[in-house]
Chain A
Amino acid sequence: MEVDREDGRSQNQLRPLACSRNILHRAHGSASWSQGDTKVLAAVYGPKAGTKKNENPEKACIEVIWKPKTGQIGKPEKEYEMILKRTLESVCILTVNPNTTTSIIVQVVNDDGALLPSAINAACMALVDAGIPMKHLAVAICCCVAKSGYVILDPTKLEEQQKMKAFAYLVFPNSVHSVLPEGSLRVEGEPIENGIITSVTHGIMSVDDYFYCLERGRAASVKLSDFLRRNLQQQSTDSSKAG
């Protein structure tokens, strides 16, 4: 079905992606991620000694601070912080540095739709830049179900507000390039990239629509993880970090 999107994209087309690492000098790791006009900056400090009072000192702890573009910090920001914290906790290897805290600060530079997925992608890049041990990367994508029933990927803010009946933020592990012929990362017989790390939905959608979103999201996450891999490999070969 031909879908008429404002910027001429097809249903499954993502906006142009751009990301860069190591942009801040004081932070241990930093990254900037932009999908179209949505731009997010993430910085990582850590691991620092000590954990917060309610956290388990046997493991490393992750702290997320979300800074909106303008205005006070309210409930939506706290919700984003919690989602980001839980997603990143499942991606990082927490047993390597027990009793430490890694702080991730996310700054919204511009919001044009799909803000939380961009933030998750930026935070992952920043963690890689800081050298925090992780099991795999998290790749996040936003899928919407329109009022007329079709599913589109990576909506802009205009599309989110006007056309969409419901949307879902999905986070998948990135695709694996394994040295062994059979990838050793199989969970209960299924390859790891079929798993879902996080799924947040807004609005009402039918079960079939949700599964269709998952399928589309997973296909797009393969492209996103290729982009991430290319970007990280290229930057690690030509940039020399001097302290």
Chain B
Amino acid sequence: MEGRLANSWRLTVNDKNFIKTALLSEIRIDGRKPFEYRKISIKFGREDGSSEVQLGQTRVMGMVTAQLVQPYRDRPKEGILSIFTEFSPMADPSFEPGRPGELAVELGRIIDRGLRESRAVDTESLCILASKFVWAIRIDLHILDNGGNLVDAANIAALAALLTFRRPECSLGGEDGQEVIVHPPEIREPLPLTVHHLPIAISFGFFSNESILVIDPTHNEEAVMGGRMTTTVNANGDICAIQKSGGEGVPQRVIMQCLQLATSKAASITKQIKDAVEVVNTERALRKVKRHPTSTGVDVREKQN
């Protein structure tokens, strides 16, 4: 069923011209201004490390799991971070199940570079026993609905899931201290991951006439735009990654403008993620306090160690 007519979706020429002409007067088809982001809503599931992010009509679900494995030979003291992106066929009729296509691989790589190479997640704290046991963190990103700008939404989902994930605590034991004992969550509180900073991906779309620039394109705009650029920045103003693969050429001043815009947007998005995570963490802490019915007279405001 590859390449069936029913699976491919194309915008009509009239629609395309309408979008382009509207942009000349700085009007976008969903009513936003060129540098306005869509509404972001971050929700969390019951388990630690599961998040669902909605960016306008785009919907992405993130899931973080951990496993004890042997580390890579050339990095015996570091944990492993791997990102798997699933372009689910439910997101878009043109997504086929099976092997990830170009877009899926590119999205995975952009998020991977943002998290791993900028050292956002501390992999050295994931090492339990050098050269033998380290934690391998696996991030699964499921794209549920394609409303445009999947990279940004998937990045936020990955960050939200990482911040709420808790890995089991483990200690060394055995005769020679070479065995690793993993403590179940009922015995010892699981630990959060060490995340130094939050790299936020911000995507821009370039249009051919008069070098028009928009932030956070919808999938209609993506079908019309001539080039795209994704910049991954954090709230401190550091550039973690820039991805501009092909498409139209843009002058240097436009790139600088994009970077400045991205830094200001990143600050507000970082705050939004941190607030949402804070709410969930307090909720979970309260739930854990209620988990022990035998302890009488527990003041909910007190922290339980």
Do A and B pair up? The answer is yes
B52 to chain A, nearest CB (A): 8
Contact between B65 and A107, CB atoms less than 8 A apart: no
Q: CA of A107 to CA of B61 in the docked complex: distance in angstroms?
A: 10
Contact between B46 and A41, CB atoms less than 8 A apart: no
What residues of chain A lie closer than 8 Å to B140, measured between beta carbons? Answer: 69-70
Q: Decide yes or no whether A48 CB sits under 8 A from chain B.
A: yes
Contact between B6 and A50, CB atoms less than 8 A apart: yes
Query: Quick one: which of B4, B59, B144, B147 contacts A48, CB cutoff 8 A?
Result: B4
Q: Decide yes or no whether A67 CB sits under 8 A from chain B.
A: yes
Query: Quick one: which of A26, A37, A52 contacts B93, CB cutoff 8 A?
Result: A26
Contact between A26 and B7, CB atoms less than 8 A apart: no
Contact between B88 and A107, CB atoms less than 8 A apart: yes
Bin the interface of chain B by size.
20 to 34
Which among A65, A109, A110 has the highest number of chain B CB atoms within 10 Å?
Answer: A109
Contact between A69 and B92, CB atoms less than 8 A apart: no
What's the dominant secondary structure at chain A's contact region? strand
Q: Decide yes or no whether A114 CB sits under 8 A from chain B.
A: no
- With A48-B4, A49-B4, A49-B5 known as contacts, the answer to whether A26 contacts B89 (CB < 8 A) is no
Q: CA of A64 to CA of B130 in the docked complex: distance in angstroms?
A: 44
Contact between A101 and B90, CB atoms less than 8 A apart: no
Chain B residues 1-27 with CB under 8 Å of chain A are 1, 4-7
Q: Interface digits, A10-47 against B, CB 8 Å rule (1 contact, 0 not)? A: 00000000000000111100100000010101010100
- With A49-B6, A110-B45 known as contacts, the answer to whether A41 contacts B89 (CB < 8 A) is no
Contact between B63 and A52, CB atoms less than 8 A apart: no
Contact between A26 and B88, CB atoms less than 8 A apart: no
What residues of chain A lie closer than 8 Å to B65, measured between beta carbons? Answer: 70
What residue in chain B is nearest A65 (Cβ atoms)?
B97
What residues of chain B lie closer than 8 Å to A50, measured between beta carbons? Answer: 1, 4, 6
B58 to chain A, nearest CB (A): 9
- With A48-B7, A69-B140, A70-B140 known as contacts, the answer to whether A26 contacts B45 (CB < 8 A) is no
Q: Decide yes or no whether A115 CB sits under 8 A from chain B.
A: no
Q: CA of A25 to CA of B145 in the docked complex: distance in angstroms?
A: 7
Q: CA of A240 to CA of B9 in the docked complex: distance in angstroms?
A: 24
What residues of chain A lie closer than 8 Å to B61, measured between beta carbons? Answer: 107, 109
Contact between B147 and A109, CB atoms less than 8 A apart: no
Q: Could you list some 6 contacts between A and B, CB below 8 A? A: A24-B144, A25-B145, A26-B92, A48-B7, A70-B138, A107-B88
Give 8 nearest A-B pairs by CB, closest first: A43-B90, A105-B90, A48-B6, A25-B57, A24-B145, A70-B140, A105-B89, A49-B6
Query: Residues of B at under 8 Å CB distance from A?
Result: 1, 4-7, 45-47, 50, 52, 57, 59, 61, 63, 65, 86, 88-93, 97, 138, 140, 142, 144-147
